[in-house]
Structures are given as structure tokens and as C-alpha cells.
Structure 1
Amino acid sequence: MSETATRSAPASPGCAYAGIGRSGSSRWIRTSVTRGDPTDALRKAACQAGAVGQSLGVYRERLSVPVSWWIISAAAVVTLFAITAVPAGLLAGVIVGAIALLVLLALLIRYGGARVEVDAERLRAGRAVIERAHLGAAEALTGEAARNAFGRDCDPQAFLLLRSYARGAVRVAITDPDDPAPYWVLATRHPERLAAALSGHSVTRS
């Protein structure tokens, strides 16, 4: 008779690891694994790979502009079309409206295209990249603390990735002695999740 061992595992059979993934949480269930199962070794290998991926703190976020900005931009295009078409004619209104539309589209896509990404080796914020070996403590900031981090409390040499519509921020120390920036402040909609990915789930919140 084979023995049966019961252990905690995530939704995939036979796996057991802890961490925060892209969704920011792990689902846990109780599963039974029979030691005589020939696929147990494969499951253990998959679990180990999953555990490594979780512990590396993978995080990805695109700081896209909110829907309200698109609505305001559309209203601006219509307004420009109207105030041009009435005195100068329909063709002039269409030309001005089309130019305004293209300019606003380019600006919104560019401004909202900034990404914050954390993987096993580096942190990427917009176009800036730094190795994780040079990162110190990460602090999740919300509310007034986040606003002050970009304003009155900001070091002039700090690197900033600011997006006014992202209400949270993360401040991460830079330990590289050759880097003039003492820390980075990154806008984010999920400050706790980003700080956890950077600091191995040890998060300070302000």
C-alpha cells in the first residue's frame, strides 16, 4: 500500500511555493500527492521552477493614461473642428481637427506608454534601467507621502518617473556608489506590489 502525504499547494497539482506574482496573490488549496506517482518528480521540478520565478519578484505595469484623458482629448478635437469649420469652412475644420487628433494621439500614447518592469536581474522604469544588485530598500508611498516624494521631499539628484494620474509611488534606494542618484521614485498604481517585487516581499509603507 502506498503512503499518501498531504501538503499545501497552489492550484497546480502537487506544487508548493509562496510568493507574489503578476496578480499580486497566490491561491492555495489542499492536495494529496501519492509518493508512488511516476509524475511526482516532474511536478516537483515544475514546483521548484515556479518557486524561483515567484521569489525573483517579477512585476510589470504600464502607466497608461486614464479614460478621462481620452474623453477630454476627443472633446478638444471636436471643439477645434467646430470653431474652425464655422468661419473657415468644412475642409479647414477637417484639416485642423485631423492635425489635432494626430498630435493628441501621439502625446497620449507616448506619455502613457511608460512601463515599470522588475525581473530577476534589473529594474526598468521608462527608458532607465538599473541592475537589481544596486537596489536597496523599497518603500511603498500613498497619498500625501507619494505627492511629497515628487515635490518638497525630493532630492534634486533623484531619478523620477512621474505620472500625475498614478496616485501611488515607490521609493527605492540606490546603493551603487558611482550613481549620482540616491534613490528612484516611481509612479505606480500598485505601490505595495511593486515594493514587494523589489524587496523580496519586505515592504515599508508610508
Structure 2
Amino acid sequence: MQSYEERLTAPRSWWVIAALVGVACALMLLPVGTLPMLGGLIGGTALSAVAVSAYGSARIRVVGGALIAGDARIPASALGEARALDAEEALAWRTHKADARAFMLLRSYVPTAVRVEITDPDDPTPYAYLSTRRPESLVAALTAVRA
């Protein structure tokens, strides 16, 4: 059985923005004094870095006969066909083709995705849309776990 693991980390530019938020906080507190300015720099940078890190901590795993995507755990018995989506198809499935009942693990900075049918009759979720940088590898792992 093939396993798969991916962390949807935030791009480097987001970390630069986090540092700039700290600089902006420091500049806002500059008129108050040097220590508040340093506190603003450290605090603003730390808070924005925590936010970027938390958003980029989403993981997709295929392990132990299940798909684990973010907080969702879907057993292999409930998985249907998995399809890799290129950037254009992924955009369509997260906009005008999207179903409000679908489970979506979206990351705007990841252009490709995988769409996995959910076949459990007791689950109203029609499919799972998963942003991934390696759609073919994820599809191969899902196909292997279903077999």
C-alpha cells in the first residue's frame, strides 16, 4: 500500500508580509517611545507569523486505509474515483462548479487539486476537493488504498 503526506505550507512571500506587519506595528508605536516600538515590532511579527504558520499547517495524508485531509478522516471504503485537476479545472471546481455540500481543503496559493468522490450513502458530502502541489501522486495513493 502506497502512503502519501503533504503539508500545504504558505509561500515565502507570506512570511515577508508577516515581517512587514511587524515593521508597521513598530512604526505605529514609534511616537510613544523606543521600548513600545520594539514591543510592536516583536509582537506584530510574532502574531502575524503565528497566523501564517497556522494557515499553512494543513496536511493531507493517505495512511492506515484512510484519507486524512485537515480535520476530515475519510475511510477508504467511502472513497470513490479520484481525479487530478490542473489549474484551470481546479479553478472551475472551486468556483462555478462547486457544490456547497462538498468538503473543500482550499489553499489559494496552490493552483492544482484533486477531486475525490465520496460514495458513503449516509454522508451527504458528494466529493472532497483538496488543494495539492502533487495531484498525480495523491491520486496514485488514493487508488492504491482503495484497491
CA distance, structure 1, for counterparts of residue 32 and residue 81 of structure 2: 60
Relative contact order, higher structure (CA 8 A, sep 6+): 2
Is 1:151 the counterpart of 2:91? The answer is no
Out of 110, 125, 134, the position equivalent to 2:78 is 134
Task: Tell which structure's C-alpha radius of gyration is larger.
Answer: 1
Give the gaps of 5 or more residues in structure 2: none
Which ranges of structure 1 fall in alignment gaps of 5 or more residues?
Answer: 1-55, 202-206
Q: Which of residues 34, 57, 66 is equivalent to 1:122? A: 66
Check conservation: 1:120, 1:132, Cα contact below 8 A: no
Identity of aligned residues (%): 42
Give the drift of 1:194: 0.7
Instruction: Tell me which amino acid in the other structure corresponds to 1:177.
Output: P
Give the TM-score normalised by structure 2.
0.92
Instruction: State the alpha-carbon separation in 2 of the partners of residues 174 and 80 from structure 1.
Output: 46
Match of 2:43 in 1: 99
Aligned partner of 2:139 among 195, 202, 205: 195
1:76 maps to 21
TM-score, scaled to structure 1: 0.67
Q: Deviations over 1:153-191 (max 9, x none)?
A: 111100000111111100000000011100000010111
The SS at the match of 1:60 is strand
Is the Cα contact below 8 Å between 2:83 and 2:139 reproduced in 1? Answer: yes
- The aligned length equals 145
- The whole-number CA distance in structure 2 between the counterparts of 1:94 and 1:180 is 51
Q: Using the TM superposition, give the Cα deviation of residue 80 of structure 1 relative to its aligned residue in structure 2, in angstroms.
A: 2.1
Residue 124 of structure 2 aligns to a residue whose secondary structure is: coil
Alpha-carbon offset, residue 78 of structure 1: 1.4
Q: Distance in 2 between matches of 1:117 and 1:170?
A: 13
**2:12 alignment counterpart:** 67
2-structure distance, mates of 1:71, 1:106: 13
1 CA distance for matches of 2:37 and 2:95?
41
AA paired with 1:104?
S
Higher mean alpha-carbon deviation, 89-98 vs 158-167, is at 89-98
Tell me how far 1:115 sits from its aligned partner.
Answer: 0.5
| Alpha-carbon distance in 2 for matches of 1:76, 1:102 | 9
Superposed, 1:179-190 pairs within 5 Å as 179-190=123-134
